[in-house]
Each structure stands twice: as C-alpha cells, then as structure tokens.
C-alpha cells in the first residue's frame, strides 16, 4: 500500500495548472500587501507541498478506512475550539497546539468528504429516505459548530460538498429536492436566531445596496467594485492598482485578492485565470469519471465540489453577486491553513488518479 508504483499515472496537467495558480497567488499577495507576506506565502506553499507529497505515499483507501475515527477527532477539536480557541478578528477559529495554530473547521471540510463517501460506499442500497438522514446529520453537526465560531462561509461550504457526493452516489433527485425545500424553509429561523448583526448587514447591503448607508456594510462591496471596474480590459499593471496600492481595498491579499488581480491585470487576463480554474475542475471531474473505484470517485467529487464552491463564492462576492463571507480563493489567497487544506484535497485527487489502475490488483502485483 505504500508503493510508489502509481507515479507513472501522475497527472501533469493538473499539476501545471496548480503551479500557475500558485504563481499568480504569490505575485498578487506581493502586490496587495508586501514582500514579507509573499515570502511567508512561499513558506506555506513549501509546507503544503511537503504535506501533499507525504499524503501521496499513503493509499487513500487506508485513510478512508479510518475516516469515522478522523471525523470524531476533528469534531472533538471543533468543540475544543469553542471552549479554548484563540480569538482573532472577533471569531474563535484557531486551536493553539504549542506554537502551531490549527483551524479545525478547515480540516472538517476534508474529513467530511472522506466520511460521507465512506458511508455511501458501505451502504448497500440507497432506496428509502432514511439512508439520507445519516450523512445529513454528519454534515449538520459540524456546520452548527462552525457557525457558532462564527464562520458562516466555511460552514456553508459543507452543504454543496454533501449534495454533490449524494448526487453522484445516486441518491434520488426527489429526496434531494425535499431536503432543499426543508432547508429553505428554515431560513427565517436563521435570520432571527443565528445570524449576527454584521452578517445581516452584509446580506441587506447585498440585496438592497441603496438602502445601506451605515459605515462598513457597503464599504467592501463598493471598494471591490471600483477596483474591478477600474481594471478595464488590460488593467493598470502589476503593482499599480490604485485601489489596492492605496489601501482602499481591505483584505486585498486574502479574501479580496481577486479584485486586486482584476484591477491590475484587466479583463482578459482574469478571464484566463477563470479558465485555469475551470480547467482544474474539469480535470478533477475527469479523474472522478475515469476511476474504477467507487470510493475514489466519491471523494474526488467531494473535493471538486469543495474547490468549485470556494472559487465561485469568493469571486461572486468580490464582483457583487453574493453577500460578503470570508472565504479564501484556493491556491491564490494568502493564508497558511487554507493553502494546506487545498494541498491535502489536491493530494487526494492525485492519489485517486495514481491508484485507479491498481485498485483491483493486490499489493505487490507489479513487483
């Protein structure tokens, strides 16, 4: 199981795309903040690559076997965060283990994909509504915990992940529609009991931009739109964006990095960036389609959905199509835990691709 035999199946196309994305990220973290942040980004990429390589050696199937245990551990960590977590920017998201701070909500995204896929693979028949409840519970529990931190963005990412795995696993469309309807009907409850004042303000400012005058609620949206709009077709050039260089745009190197890219690179090159992302997603879906192992297929689907949701929500937020939630852009935004998480997910995708041919062969078959 620790064989490196699959290396011949290494997917160079996704690898190349990822490298391009990382380079773009490095350039614009530099542009939007400073050299020191860019340097730290390089260090995090290094850490990510190490994690990526180490995970590549291990067979994803053997990790899948212990996925329930991993799930419980991360769930426990999420509870710990609420009790002892470090508070940064008003949210309690980090768990301090010695000098390292861990963000269990990021780990949850990975583990949820593993555990829900495991469930659907083990399940013999998908007939009946009851089969859907368990994975739903598996998702809602961590969602509630993450929402409590509060981290609305990350907790909402779990939903598309669950749905796409369910969809590909073959759950009846009827059931999924029923769940969606029930979920939508609970929205008023959320509005009154769960959402915090600033979150409501963000949603209101998104739905009715003209009504909001209060400081802050509409500020991000407006600055981001000005930044993107002033980019035009070719942009103002790297390091010359007025909005980002003069610090009008808050969080330029993390959540709003796409605005910086569009301002400085213009429409055509940001289109190219979007195409890179589509290519990335298409390739990973290709891996899911081509693999013979049902478990591998489901986890690749889950991770693809995770990436897709993050990319889409982040960009939609910067261009004013979605309310503002703090989600990073995978492989581009500055930030250690999001980079490492992305690398872990990427590693699983590669893992499935590398082992799909030997899935049915015994260990040592090739030796």
Footprint of another protein on this chain (CB under 8 A)? Answer: 89-90, 164, 167-168, 170, 196-198, 201, 215-217, 219-220, 225-233, 242-243, 248, 250-251, 262, 266-267, 270-271, 274, 277-278, 281-282, 285, 288-289, 297, 301, 305, 308, 312, 315-316, 319-321
Half-sphere exposure of 23 toward its Cβ, with a 13 Å CA cutoff?
A: 8
What is the Cα–Cα distance from 309 to 53, expressed in whole angstroms?
25
What is the Cα–Cα distance from 57 to 7, expressed in whole angstroms?
10
Q: What is the smallest separation between the CB atom of 274 and another protein, expressed in angstroms?
A: 6
239, exposed or middle or buried, with CB in 10 Å at 0-12, 13-18, 19+?
middle
Contact 295, 117 (CB under 8 A): yes
Three-state SS for 97? strand
Q: What is the smallest separation between the CB atom of 259 and another protein, expressed in angstroms?
A: 10
* 115 vs 227, beta carbon nearer another protein: 227
Q: What is the smallest separation between the CB atom of 4 and another protein, expressed in angstroms?
A: 29
What is the Cα–Cα distance from 218 to 221, expressed in whole angstroms?
6
* 46 vs 232, beta carbon nearer another protein: 232
* 76 vs 198, beta carbon nearer another protein: 198
Residues near 276 by beta carbon (within 8 Å), at least 6 away in sequence: 17, 20, 21
* 48 vs 241, beta carbon nearer another protein: 241
In the numeric block, which tokens belong to residue 108? Answer: 């949850």
* 3 vs 230, beta carbon nearer another protein: 230
What is the Cα–Cα distance from 128 to 173, expressed in whole angstroms?
12
In the numeric block, which tokens belong to residue 356? Answer: 């799909």
Q: What is the smallest separation between the CB atom of 213 and another protein, expressed in angstroms?
A: 9
Q: What is the smallest separation between the CB atom of 72 and another protein, expressed in angstroms?
A: 29
Nearest to 323 by CA among 185, 147, 203, 161: 203
What is the Cα–Cα distance from 311 to 153, expressed in whole angstroms?
12
* 9 vs 230, beta carbon nearer another protein: 230
- β-strand partners of 95: 102
What is the Cα–Cα distance from 84 to 104, expressed in whole angstroms?
13
Q: What is the smallest separation between the CB atom of 54 and another protein, expressed in angstroms?
A: 30
* 40 vs 286, beta carbon nearer another protein: 286
Contact 74, 108 (CB under 8 A): yes
* 159 vs 242, beta carbon nearer another protein: 242
Q: What is the smallest separation between the CB atom of 100 and another protein, expressed in angstroms?
A: 21
Q: C-alpha angle with apex 26: 98 to 44, nearest 5 degrees? A: 20
* 46 vs 216, beta carbon nearer another protein: 216
What is the Cα–Cα distance from 288 to 216, expressed in whole angstroms?
42
């Amino acid at each position: 199981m620790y064989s490196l035999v699959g290396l011949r199946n290494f997917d160079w196309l996704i690898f190349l795309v990822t490298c391009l994305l990382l380079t773009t990220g490095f350039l614009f973290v530099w542009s939007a903040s400073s050299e020191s942040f860019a340097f730290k980004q390089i260090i995090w990429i290094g850490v990510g690559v190490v994690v990526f390589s180490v995970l590549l050696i291990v067979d994803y199937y053997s990790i899948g076997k212990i996925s329930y245990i991993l799930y419980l551990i991360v769930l426990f960590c999420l509870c710990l965060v609420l009790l002892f977590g470090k508070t940064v920017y008003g949210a309690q998201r980090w768990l301090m283990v010695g000098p390292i701070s861990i963000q269990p909500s990021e780990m949850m995204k990975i583990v949820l994909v593993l555990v829900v896929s495991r469930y659907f693979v083990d399940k013999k028949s998908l007939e009946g509504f009851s089969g859907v409840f368990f994975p739903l519970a598996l998702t809602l529990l961590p969602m509630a915990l993450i929402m409590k931190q509060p981290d609305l963005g990350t907790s909402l990412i779990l939903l598309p992940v669950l749905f796409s795995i369910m969809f590909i696993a073959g759950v009846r469309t009827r059931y999924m529609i029923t769940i969606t309807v029930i979920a939508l009907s609970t929205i008023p409850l959320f509005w009154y009991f769960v959402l915090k004042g600033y979150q409501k303000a963000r949603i209101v400012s998104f739905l009715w931009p003209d009504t909001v005058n209060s400081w802050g609620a509409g500020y991000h949206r407006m600055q981001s739109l000005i930044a993107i709009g002033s980019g035009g077709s070719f942009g103002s050039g790297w390091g010359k964006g007025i909005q980002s260089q003069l610090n009008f745009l808050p969080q330029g190197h993390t959540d709003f990095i796409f605005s910086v890219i569009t301002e400085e690179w213009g429409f055509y090159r940001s289109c190219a960036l979007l195409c890179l992302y589509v290519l990335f997603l298409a390739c990973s879906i290709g891996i899911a389609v081509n693999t013979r192992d049902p478990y591998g297929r489901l986890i690749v689907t889950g991770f693809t959905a995770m990436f897709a949701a993050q990319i889409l929500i982040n960009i939609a937020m910067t261009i004013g199509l979605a309310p503002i939630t703090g989600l990073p852009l995978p492989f581009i935004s500055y930030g250690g835990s999001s980079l490492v998480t992305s690398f872990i997910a990427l590693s699983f995708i590669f893992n499935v691709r590398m082992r799909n041919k030997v899935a049915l062969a015994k260990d040592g078959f090739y030796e």
